Amino acid sequence: MGTTIAMLMASSAMAQVYPMGNNSYNSQGMTPGGMPVNTVINIVPASSNTHGIIVQNCSETVWGSTWGANTLVIASPTQPTPLATGNIVLFSVLVPPITVATLPHPVYVPAGNGLWAYTSGTGGSIYCNYDFSN
């Protein structure tokens, strides 16, 4: 019996547990169609990110079937120009073929960078949970 308990404790210690995030952003409340099209939206201001942000989970959608329409989540110290070289794109959705994507694992955004969202085409939506590092 002692061996069984030790094995359970060892397997529990190896499990990865990810918190849900104490803060959230939901673009659905902005307009009936989600995010404003071709407009960069600030999710977290760079000035609020003094020790780093951990994006625990994030999902994004791009609506419509227009070729090349996309939705992006970008980390940048200033408002980025969407689709510009040098952007730190956490992840994106591009039509075709994908219209929905979920961040596959938590991501750390260094201090001094804000989180930004952008969508083109007929619109999109983003929902993120995140924590500020101490």
Q: What pLDDT, in 10s, does the model give residues 95-107?
A: 876 678 888 889 9
Rounded Cα gap, residues 16 and 36, in angstroms: 36
Phi/psi class of residue 107: alpha, beta or left (left: φ > 0; alpha: ψ in -120 to 50)? beta
Closest among 55, 41, 47, 27 to 124, alpha carbons compared: 27
Rounded Cα gap, residues 33 and 23, in angstroms: 23
- 3-state DSSP helix/strand/coil percent for the chain, to nearest 5? 15, 40, 45
Query: 49 or 92: which carries more pLDDT confidence?
Result: 49
Predicted pLDDT at 107: 92
Query: 109 or 36: which carries more pLDDT confidence?
Result: 109
CA dihedral in degrees (46, 48, 51, 57; nearest 10)? -80
Predicted pLDDT at 18: 54
For the four alpha carbons of 71, 18, 108 and 28, in that order, the dihedral sign comes to positive
For residue 19, give the amino acid letter.
P
- Domains of the chain by start residue, with CATH: 20-132 (2.60.120)
Predicted pLDDT at 1: 47
Q: Distance of CA 58 to CAs 15, 33, 100, 132, Å? A: 21, 19, 11, 15
User: What band does 32 get if pLDDT is binned at 50, 70 and 90?
Assistant: very low
User: What band does 20 get if pLDDT is binned at 50, 70 and 90?
Assistant: low
Phi and psi (nearest 5°) for 53? -125, 140
Tell me what the mean pLDDT of segment 19-41 comes to: 76
Q: Distance of CA 45 to CAs 61, 78, 81, 117, Å? A: 22, 9, 16, 12
Q: Is the pLDDT of residue 126 over 80?
A: yes
Tell me what the mean pLDDT of segment 42-48 comes to: 95
Query: 85 or 16: which carries more pLDDT confidence?
Result: 85
Tell me what the mean pLDDT of segment 22-43 comes to: 79
Q: Is the pLDDT of residue 110 over 90?
A: yes
Predicted pLDDT at 37: 85
